[in-house]
Chain A
Amino acid sequence: MKGLLISDFNIENLSSYLKKEPNAPAIESVSVCYGQVSQTLLDDAAPIWSERPDFVVAWTRPEGVLEAFRRMLDCCSVSENDLNEQVDAFIAALHRASRRTAAIFVPTWVISAFHQTHGLLDLSSSMGVARALMRINMRLIESLENIPTAHALWAEKWVQLGGPTAFNERLWYLGKIPFSNEVFKAAARDLKAALRGLNGQAKKVVILDLDETLWGGIVGETGWQGLILGGHDPAGEALVDFQRELKALTRRGILLAIVSKNEEAVAMEAIAKHPEMVLKLDDFAGWRINWKDKVENMIDLVAELNLGLDSVVFIDDNPVERARVREALPQLCVPDWPSDKRLYPEALLSLDYFDRPSLTEEDRRRVRMVAVDRVRKQSKMSVSDLDGWLATLKTTVTVEELNQGNLLRAAQLLNKTNQMNLSTRRMCEADFQDWARQRGHRVWTFRVSDKFGDSGLTGLLSIEVDGSQARITDFVLSCRVMGRKIEEAMLHMAIRWARSVGVRDVFAKYNQTAKNKPCYEFLQKSGLTRRSEDVFVWDVAQAYPLHAAICLVCEGSGVFEKTSAEINRPELIPTVDRLL
């Protein structure tokens, strides 16, 4: 990825660490000469923008970009209005620059403790530097929330990780570098984690060992009563905290699973009966508890969860098991793990694999939905044929046009889905919204629910009309609902709309990736005619059937109202704003 670093100080050290930090994505960055912040942000024609950077980092010192703050450091009295106006002008410049990149990262402002030496005055309303810093940071953070591609980063954390020499006077006077390298290293790690999150590369599941990992001791030897977990014991208390942090991950949409060499019944009993277990059986999306090789179990379990191996973090106390898994499954992330159990919570919290730009309701409910899916699959086993099973599910598919309310989740789905994904386009929210606003473009989202529960917004279809033809641009479905005739319902929806606007045929061009074979397999059996190796077409003279077990609900008006002639008239182009 190409990055552009804009700063009022020498930021080359960050550039070096971004390049050298081993985790993905690979980054090549260029930095603007320091002190050129406003000029660069405001000048659309500056040559540095010609290579449209994938992301921008605008990292400044408050005294470097806010003259009023500089005066505060000199103990001058400054009005709140003056300071606010300058903050707003800086934010306006960021807003302008944000149009030239997919993501702009803005670290919050920090100042050295040496600038906060006025005792009680530091927090006073008239000239309190610390108070002003908090205020301008809040104003910055809140304003950035209104810029779709902007993301604030908490630089205070990097300074804390940098320790007492985080602000480095030597480097400042030698090279106009305000921070020690530990600060830049922490910043590089966070930036990369944020980029992974934006690119849909955040890890999705943590697979855990049991003995000496989730609890202390060997359950097969001591029984659950003899395990070290909770109580007045340093390791026991730390393990409870470790489980608490794992539970917190589930509220961020990260799945938990178990791969352990144990007797399943014994382990299950421990999870169910140990009074200090924070994690309950429902917190786990799946498990393989047996005496087989862990690698084999891992592959099997990840397939069951419909995830890729590269979305997995594996935590095991045993270095031999870790080495075995690392060697056999290099796609997996297997962090080194401390032998001291008191360090487990910190080790987990320091993993930067789970960063996401936002958290949707679907994320929060994911663990519950996966648990429900397990029950759903069990019910499938009790019904002999697919149609019979589908009929028992009572599935409802609710269609909505893209709007401000579902944009976040829709963009997330677009960027994270690999398997049932026709073109694997990756777009940030703002770009996707812009695309949807273009003439002849439509985007629908699909929400799926059945008698077991609500799977949430799990499907997305976009279409673009060109004359008498309509092309399905995106056909995206979460693996959680694949194989339940939702795919057919989505096609039905697109073709029904195409019929209503007088389009002659609808086609889909499959763009092969390493992971989207399921989409190809669906297209092959979808009933669409194969026009070439990767193009499938449907003549809309004929309706595309909807499975009898599916109830399709179209939310909002206008879904089928426009004709093909009309949709090419600019005044009738659906805009996200108008659909609000």
Chain B
Amino acid sequence: MKAKKEELLDIIYQSLDEVNEQLPNEARIQKSPDAALVGGDGGLDSLGVVNFVALVEEKCARKYGIALSLTDTPSEDDDALEDVGKFADFLFRRLNEISPVEL
């Protein structure tokens, strides 16, 4: 399995596209590494997070053939959902734990 960070960002953006379909226009999450996912100005409520995480897991499974669970996060990843960039880093680390990931 070889993944690039750009690919993971792409997966996150595709997932955001789908999640945004359910959100009011003013609450849509921007497709940018700085965009907040939850808290502060972030637009995802708990249901939004569930939808978003499930979509990312599903797309990773499809692309890399890996069953990935993003909900059992270690405490050092508590801020993983703070913004898109941090989530991409978190995703990268989790994938790397399962199999070496090529940058």
Chain A contact residues, CB within 8 Å of chain B: 10, 12-13, 16-17, 19-20, 165, 168, 170-171, 174-175, 177, 181, 185
Contact = CB atoms under 8 A, between A and B. Distances in A.
Contacts of B47: 10, 12-13, 175
Closest 10 CB pairs of A and B: A16-B22, A175-B50, A170-B54, A174-B50, A171-B54, A12-B47, A170-B57, A174-B54, A20-B22, A181-B18
A177 B50 CA distance: 9
A17 B22 contact: yes
11 contacts: A10-B47, A13-B51, A19-B24, A20-B23, A168-B54, A170-B54, A174-B53, A174-B54, A174-B71, A177-B50, A177-B51
* Range for the number of chain B residues in contact with chain A: 10 to 19
Given A13-B22, A20-B22, A174-B71, A181 B58 contact: no
A13 B51 CA distance: 9
Given A10-B47, A175-B47, A170 B18 contact: no
Contacts of A174: 50, 53-54, 71
A537 to B, nearest CB: 50
A18 to B, nearest CB: 10
Nearest to A10: B47
Contact of B21 (A12, A20, A171): A20
Contacts of A12: 47
B37 to A, nearest CB: 16
Contacts of B18: 181
Interface of B is mostly: helix
Interface in B47-85: 47, 50-51, 53-54, 57-58, 71
Interface of B: 18, 21-24, 47, 50-51, 53-54, 57-58, 71
B50 A171 contact: yes
A456 B24 CA distance: 46
A16 to B, nearest CB: 4
Contact of B58 (A16, A165, A185): A165
A171 B22 contact: no
Nearest to B21: A20
Contacts of A16: 22-23
Contacts of A175: 47, 50-51, 54
A20 B25 CA distance: 9
A413 to B, nearest CB: 38
Contacts of B21: 17, 20, 181, 185
B94 to A, nearest CB: 15
Contacts of A13: 22, 47, 51
A181 B21 CA distance: 10
A335 B41 CA distance: 37
Nearest to A171: B54
A16 B58 CA distance: 21
A17 to B, nearest CB: 6
A168 B62 CA distance: 14
A528 B51 CA distance: 63
The interface centre, meaning the residue of A20, A165, A174 with most chain B CB atoms within 10 A of its CB, is A174
B43 to A, nearest CB: 12
Contacts of B54: 168, 170-171, 174-175
A174 B58 CA distance: 13
A432 to B, nearest CB: 36
Given A20-B22, A170-B54, 10 more contacts: A10-B47, A12-B47, A13-B47, A16-B22, A16-B23, A19-B24, A20-B21, A171-B50, A174-B53, A175-B54
Nearest to A170: B54
A171 B51 CA distance: 7
A28 to B, nearest CB: 12
Nearest to A172: B54
Contacts of A19: 24
A185 B58 CA distance: 18
Contacts of A20: 21-24
Nearest to B69: A170
A41 to B, nearest CB: 24
A11 B57 CA distance: 21
The interface centre, meaning the residue of B18, B47, B54, B71 with most chain A CB atoms within 10 A of its CB, is B54
A171 B21 CA distance: 17
A90 B50 CA distance: 30
Nearest to B25: A20
A16 B50 CA distance: 14
Contacts of A17: 21-22
